[in-house]
Copies of this chain bind each other. A is one copy, B any other.
């Protein structure tokens, strides 16, 4: 059994981690912290966990966390980095679900997240936890930067094209639609039901924090600096990301369907659908799967990739558990075999 701690378990990625770990045969959840809710039973805050989680929130103290094998940080950006040194020093592995260790360049971190990095010396060591790219590194690391939700959907959709040099890398377009849970469990006007329901809007067109993260991954896949236009949209659904990706084909003869199928043939959580498919976000609701379809409309030179995930699972807590499985030598699918909830 793996002794597990969670820092900051009162948000949506926190409750989702709890849901997944409750069903994980090797997970021994020891401690879950929250400064604001210390002392309260977890199941009092999230009644869905009644009968499944019998823990109370505690104050975040390194001492008690140090007894864990691994700690998940489900905290706001900028918190995990203040715990990292001590935890690693104590021999605890750390999986950060926030952005603290995603960008390799501390200057980029400071620019996009508005604060200096607390432990820049750890950035080189941190492994970007996209198993479909970095599985071998994840096996050996003690520090995983769990990818963002948009970056997961967008990178998995673009990777086969970029790794094989099939498209114009200077004009990549990612039009992404996210459910409202992506905004987190925070009392903010724009995320109110009466503001977000029955409506659609783009946001952050001028610049979104996931843009540099996605670019970093695509740069690496294509071995050059890509040009990316990324437009996220707030969609009236709870969970789900639908990324619609556009790229100009430079290799007209490419066998796209076969290429995608081969790239992900051995991946347990990427499902390339048959040619002509249109994946729905609900087909991955509450599951750790990324479903992808690739199209070339009117046999033209624009390739369209459709990539869907559940932002809270493959886009956050599920991928974090997948990374834990890899780090501890378990079968990658352990505790992650849930069938999507449809309808």
Q: Which A residues are within 8 Å of any B CB, using their own CB?
A: 12, 15, 18-19, 22-23, 46-52, 171, 173, 175, 177, 179-181, 183, 185, 187-189, 191-203, 205-207, 227, 229-231, 233, 235-240, 242, 244, 246, 248, 271, 273, 276-287, 289, 291, 295, 297-298, 300-302, 304, 306, 308, 312, 337-343
Known: A179-B194, A231-B244. 13 other contacts (CB 8 A): A47-B273, A47-B279, A48-B341, A50-B291, A171-B302, A185-B194, A187-B187, A191-B192, A192-B192, A200-B281, A201-B308, A229-B300, A233-B244
Which residues from chain B contact A248 at a C-beta distance below 8 Å?
171
- Complex CA gap A231/B300 in Å reads 14
Shortest Cβ distance from residue A167 to the other chain B in the assembled complex, whole angstroms: 12
Nearest chain B residue, comparing its CB with the CB of A195: B343
Would you give 22 A-B contacts (Cβ < 8 Å), ordered by A? Answer: A22-B339, A47-B279, A48-B282, A48-B339, A171-B302, A175-B175, A175-B244, A179-B194, A179-B198, A191-B193, A193-B197, A199-B240, A200-B237, A200-B281, A202-B278, A202-B306, A203-B278, A205-B278, A206-B276, A236-B237, A312-B343, A338-B338
- Complex CA gap A206/B306 in Å reads 12
Decide: A236 and B193 in contact? CB cutoff 8 A.
yes
Decide: A201 and B343 in contact? CB cutoff 8 A.
no
Which residues from chain B contact A198 at a C-beta distance below 8 Å?
179, 197-198, 237-240, 282, 285
Shortest Cβ distance from residue A327 to the other chain B in the assembled complex, whole angstroms: 23
Shortest Cβ distance from residue A292 to the other chain B in the assembled complex, whole angstroms: 12
Decide: A342 and B46 in contact? CB cutoff 8 A.
yes
Which residues from chain B contact A171 at a C-beta distance below 8 Å?
171, 248, 301-302
